[in-house]
């Protein structure tokens, strides 16, 4: 089965073709970072327009890469939510129209299920059941996964997601957009012993997250420590690095503590970590260290599949199509879509 995957939930246009016999056979990804950089964040209307401009040329490009025609495909999968409504609609309408014109089925895909299944794109694939940590700019969730579509939400962020907190904190200390990767890079040169930031909601039972207060703590520390330092001075540069380091360690420790609790609560020893923040090297180091102590395993997507991409949508869509779950001709997008509402593929 060959499935075309289309991802347009936010600011990246991803298109890929996945074959259940050969694996991923073609993919392209266009990022809108430069478009949104001057605004310091994603502008939804501009994102939608850019998806309109780029999507069809990218579909043509992956078909050419794969040496296929549209009629050679067995289905089209598109992200139907969650995400920005206008951006979602571009991909959904295009995907459904292509499927109709090629006389093949189409299937709407949950964006976070795509992330959750992204580690399946490589070997070794994690076996069910496992605990998943989905950690991105829009979501931070711990989920017990018994099978595809059999999800129990164990905990989630009550305010800012971890990736969102990374981006906002980076902006507060003067780093360019997109801030999360810039903050992580700066943290590498920071002194981890200089500042001690709180580990929010770790002093109480439960698996929910809260990063808004941590972001405010970082802001207040930056204002207090840097107010009298000369702009461009080595002292200011080092202080920013130390604050970035303290913030990153606080987020990573918090995520690791909650993952350990989730594994203990469920009695499982396999952890899947996916989403944009799963590419963070300090998070990977911490969770690998913890897994070794617990005698468990941790699985990640390769870095290219951590951020939004068409490959994960093609793979998730293929699983749904094999289970006979196809869309009718009505195009429906869901900016908010709880993951535990999805049907099982069994």
Q: What residues contact residue 202 under an 8 Å CB cut-off, 6+ apart?
A: 253, 254, 257, 258
Q: Would the annotation count 249 as a binding residue?
A: no
At CB < 8 A and 24+ separation, what contacts does 123-130 make?
A: 124/299, 125/299, 126/270, 126/272, 126/297, 126/299, 127/270, 129/266, 129/268, 129/270, 130/268, 130/270, 130/271, 130/272, 130/299
Cβ contact 77:316 at 8 Å: yes
Task: Please tell me whether 98 is known to bind a ligand.
Answer: no
Q: How many helices (H) and strands (E) does the chain have?
A: 10, 10
Please check if 179 is assigned to a binding site: no
Q: Which of 275, 246, 265 is nearest to 184 (CA)?
A: 246
Residue 280 annotated as part of some ligand binding site: yes
Q: Is residue 134 annotated as involved in ligand binding?
A: yes
DSSP sequence for 100-160: HHHT--EEEEEHHHHHHHGGGGSSSPPPSSEEEEEESSS-EEEEEEEETTEEEEEEEBSSS
Q: Does 138 count as an annotated binding residue? A: yes
Contact residues for 123 (Cβ-Cβ < 8 A; gap 6+): none
Cα–chain-centroid distance for residue 104?
29
According to the annotation, is 51 in a ligand binding site? no
Q: In what order do the strands lie in the sheet with 23-31?
A: 23-31, 12-19, 2-7, 75-81, 106-110
Is residue 139 annotated as involved in ligand binding?
no
167 is in an annotated binding site: yes
Indicate the annotated binding residues for Fe cation. 111, 115, 308
Indicate the annotated binding residues. 111, 115, 134-138, 167, 180, 280, 308
Indicate the annotated binding residues for substrate. 134-138, 167, 180, 280
């Amino acid at each position: 089965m060959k499935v075309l995957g289309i991802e347009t939930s936010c600011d990246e246009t991803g298109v890929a073709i996945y074959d259940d016999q050969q694996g991923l056979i073609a993919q392209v990804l266009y990022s809108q970072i430069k478009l949104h950089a001057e605004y310091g964040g994603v502008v939804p209307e501009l994102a939608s327009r850019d998806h309109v401009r780029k999507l069809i040329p990218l579909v043509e490009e992956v078909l050419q890469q794969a040496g296929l025609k549209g009629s050679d495909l067995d289905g089209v999968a598109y992200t139907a939510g969650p995400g920005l409504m206008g951006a979602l609609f571009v991909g959904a309408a295009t995907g459904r129209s292509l499927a109709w014109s090629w006389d093949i089925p189409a299937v709407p895909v949950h964006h976070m299920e795509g992330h959750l299944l992204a580690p399946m794109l490589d070997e070794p694939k994690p076996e069910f059941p496992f605990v998943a940590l989905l950690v991105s700019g829009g979501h931070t969730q711990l989920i017990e996964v018994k099978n595809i579509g059999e999800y129990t939400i164990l905990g989630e962020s009550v305010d800012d997601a971890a990736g969102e907190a990374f981006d906002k904190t980076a902006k507060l200390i003067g780093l360019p957009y997109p801030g999360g990767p810039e903050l992580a890079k700066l943290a590498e040169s920071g002194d981890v012993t200089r500042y001690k930031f709180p580990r929010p909601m770790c002093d109480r039972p439960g698996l929910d997250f809260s990063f808004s207060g941590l972001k405010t703590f970082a802001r207040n520390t930056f204002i207090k420590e840097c107010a009298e330092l000369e702009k461009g001075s080595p002292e200011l540069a080092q202080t920013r690095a130390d604050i970035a380091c303290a913030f990153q360690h606080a987020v990573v420790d918090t995520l690791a503590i909650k993952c350990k609790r989730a594994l203990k609560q469920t009695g499982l020893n396999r952890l899947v970590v996916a989403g944009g923040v799963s590419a963070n090297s300090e998070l990977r180091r911490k969770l690998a260290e913890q897994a070794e102590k617990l005698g468990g395993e941790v699985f990640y997507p390769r870095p290219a599949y951590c951020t939004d991409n068409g490959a994960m949508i093609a793979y998730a869509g293929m699983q749904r199509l094999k289970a006979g779950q196809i869309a009718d001709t009505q195009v429906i997008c869901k900016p908010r879509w709880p993951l535990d509402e999805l049907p099982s593929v069994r």
